[in-house]
């Protein structure tokens, strides 16, 4: 608790006196990034708004650098805490530079006249988010991605110690999402700015955050490092994913598994089978697959989409029992797919499976075509 720069102590937040999320206790060191994840309407924004004093807290307290945020003067708080909100703002006739200059509000005099130092900070903030080229364009005439960057520049110009961002990556395409998070990451690392943000992209949350808090059902369902959070089925449970699945380590999402008796068997491996799995999933054809080593990237996909894929231990030869299971699956299937994975010493068994299938008179797709040997 002592080395924490930002913390909340048994905070309860909500609207109109009705609690929405209870017992929130976070603790962050300077320069750490906390990401809130959770389903829509779980209260992520409410937590953020309560931290930034946009909403009154119901009980508990918020601490910033040893001071209770509730008791801080508004100017003091404004020079330490900056926000990027979800509000869609449409200021009239305001250039990006003027908008970023608004971040200097806590530092300027009664008429908000900028000093040379203020101008430098504004220019540096614009450069920080790589928006110097659009500085003199009208804010309402730029794209969503640029707008979000300019709003971040405004927050940076406030020279805060803590930045709170509410879903800053919504409406952004993937390139701009990455860019924005990269900027936040380097600000935290290099300038020691503490960052709290909510994200919908759990895969990105994993990659940017030092701490993750999962908000669900009126409480913090889990709080810890990404490694602690992204284990087991916590994410599936958090978002009630019962159709489809999320792979915590890869950060990929798979749609729901086609259910029923497998009609197709895919002889895969090394990632060659993945496009076939997706093609079968889209057509809702139940299938099985094998024999895959359990360290294979492809196995993660097969485990999510195939019925009972046959799997072998990595770094050890395929066992007889696994071959027998695969043959049984081929017997059940109406067709076999040869993914085209090159057959080498350790996956010879898969070559044998194809020969077996041919002997059993199973149609094999696609028709064999010499494949270039390359690892995906």
Partner 1 sequence: METVSKNTLRHSVVFLSLLLLFGAAVVWNINTGSVAISVREILTLLFRKKEIESGALAADLPAFNIIWKIRLPRLLLAAVLGGALSLSGFLLQTFFRNPIAGPFVLGISSGSKMFLAVVTIALSASLPSVPVSVTVAAAFLGSMASMLFVLAFTGKIRDMSMLLVVGIMISYICSAVTDFLINFAKESEIVNLTHWSLGSFSAASWQDVRISALIVLPAFLCTFFLSKPISAYALGEGYAQSLGVNIRLFRVLLILFSSVLSACVTAFAGPISFVGIAVPHICRVWLKTAKPVLMIPACFFCGAVFCMICDLIARTVFSPTELSVGTVTSAIGAPIVIWLMAARGAKRNE
Binding site for partner 1 (CB under 8 A): 52-54, 74-75, 77-78, 81-83, 85, 87, 89, 91-94, 98-99, 102-103, 105-106, 108, 110-113, 136, 140, 154, 158
Q: 192 CB contacts (<8 Å, ≥6 apart)?
A: 30, 31, 161
Alpha helices in 159-225 (DSSP H): 174-191, 202-208
Tally of CA atoms within 13 A in the half-sphere of 290 that contains its CB: 30
Nearest distance from C-beta of residue 154 to partner 1, angstroms: 8
Q: 16 CB contacts (<8 Å, ≥6 apart)?
A: none
Nearest distance from C-beta of residue 147 to partner 1, angstroms: 12
Nearest distance from C-beta of residue 160 to partner 1, angstroms: 10
Nearest distance from C-beta of residue 151 to partner 1, angstroms: 9
Q: CB nearer to partner 1: give 107 or 230.
A: 107
Peptide bond into 291 cis (omega under 30): yes
| Whole-number Å distance between alpha carbons of 106 and 35 | 27
Nearest distance from C-beta of residue 12 to partner 1, angstroms: 21
Q: CB nearer to partner 1: give 89 or 328.
A: 89
Tally of CB atoms within 10 A around 13: 25
Q: CB nearer to partner 1: give 80 or 325.
A: 80
* DSSP notation for 264-284: EEEE--TTTTHHHHHHHHHTT
Q: CB nearer to partner 1: give 85 or 302.
A: 85
Peptide bond into 72 cis (omega under 30): no
Q: CB nearer to partner 1: give 72 or 202.
A: 72
| Whole-number Å distance between alpha carbons of 210 and 4 | 14
Q: CB nearer to partner 1: give 101 or 169.
A: 101
Nearest distance from C-beta of residue 105 to partner 1, angstroms: 4
Q: CB nearer to partner 1: give 106 or 271.
A: 106
Q: Under DSSP, is residue 101 helix (H, G, I), strand (E, B) or coil?
A: helix
Nearest distance from C-beta of residue 233 to partner 1, angstroms: 36
Nearest distance from C-beta of residue 95 to partner 1, angstroms: 8
Q: CB nearer to partner 1: give 136 or 228.
A: 136
Q: 312 CB contacts (<8 Å, ≥6 apart)?
A: 291, 292, 293, 294, 318, 319, 322
End-to-end CA distance of the chain: 47
């Amino acid at each position: 608790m002592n080395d924490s720069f930002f913390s909340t102590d048994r905070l309860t937040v909500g609207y109109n006196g009705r609690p929405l999320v209870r017992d929130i206790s976070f603790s962050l060191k300077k320069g750490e990034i906390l990401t809130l994840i959770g389903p829509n309407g779980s209260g992520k924004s409410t937590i953020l708004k309560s931290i930034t004093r946009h909403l009154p807290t119901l009980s508990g307290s918020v601490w910033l650098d040893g001071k209770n945020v509730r008791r801080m003067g508004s100017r003091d708080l404004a020079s330490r805490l900056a926000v990027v909100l979800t509000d869609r703002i449409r200021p009239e006739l305001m250039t990006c530079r003027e908008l970023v200059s608004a971040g200097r509000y806590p530092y300027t005099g009664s008429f908000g006249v900028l000093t040379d130092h203020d101008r430098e900070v504004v220019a540096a903030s614009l450069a920080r988010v790589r928006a110097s080229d659009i500085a003199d364009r009208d804010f309402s005439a730029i794209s969503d991605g640029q707008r979000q960057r300019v709003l971040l520049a405004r927050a940076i110009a406030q020279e805060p110690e803590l930045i709170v961002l509410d879903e800053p990556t919504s409406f952004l395409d993937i390139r701009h999402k990455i860019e924005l998070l990269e900027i936040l990451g380097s600000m935290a690392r290099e300038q020691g700015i503490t960052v709290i943000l909510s994200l919908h992209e759990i895969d990105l949350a994993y990659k940017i955050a030092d701490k993750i808090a999962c908000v669900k059902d009126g409480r913090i369902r889990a709080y810890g490092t990404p490694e602690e959070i992204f284990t087991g089925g916590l994410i599936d449970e958090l978002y009630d994913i019962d159709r489809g699945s999320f792979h915590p380590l890869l950060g990929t999402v798979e749609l729901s598994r086609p259910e029923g008796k497998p009609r197709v068997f895919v002889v895969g491996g090394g990632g060659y089978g993945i496009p076939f799995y997706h093609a079968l999933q889209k057509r809702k054809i139940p299938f099985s697959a094998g024999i895959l080593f359990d360290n294979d990237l492809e196995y993660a996909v097969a485990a999510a989409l195939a019925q009972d894929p046959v799997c072998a231990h990595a770094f050890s030869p395929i066992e007889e029992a696994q071959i027998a299971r695969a043959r049984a699956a081929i017997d059940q299937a109406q067709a076999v797919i040869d993914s085209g994975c090159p057959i080498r010493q350790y996956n010879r068994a898969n070559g044998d499976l194809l020969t077996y299938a041919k002997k059993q008179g199973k149609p094999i797709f696609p028709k064999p075509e010499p494949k270039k040997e390359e690892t995906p």
